Every structure is written in structure tokens, then in C-alpha cells.
């Protein structure tokens, strides 16, 4: 799964959705 931090950086969380801090 791909999520985005508040600053717009992309984070790959390996298929899970975690809370993206930023």
C-alpha cells in the first residue's frame, strides 16, 4: 500500500496501511 505523509512524501508500507507521520 502507498500512503503519503503530511509533507507529501510517499511511504510504502508493504501492503498494510499504517498511520503516516509527518
> What's the pLDDT tens digit per position in 1-22?
677 777 777 777 665 556 656 5
Residue 11: CB atoms within 10 A of its CB come to 13
Number of Cβ within a 10 Å radius of residue 3: 15
Q: Are strands 10-12 and 2-4 parallel, antiparallel or unpaired?
A: antiparallel
Max CA pair span of the chain: 21
d(CA 4, CA 12): 9
pTM for this model (two decimals): 0.25
pLDDT score at 5 = 73
Amino acid at each position: 500500500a502507498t500512503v503519503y505523509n503530511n509533507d507529501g512524501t510517499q511511504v510504502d508500507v508493504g501492503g498494510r496501511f499504517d498511520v503516516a507521520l509527518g
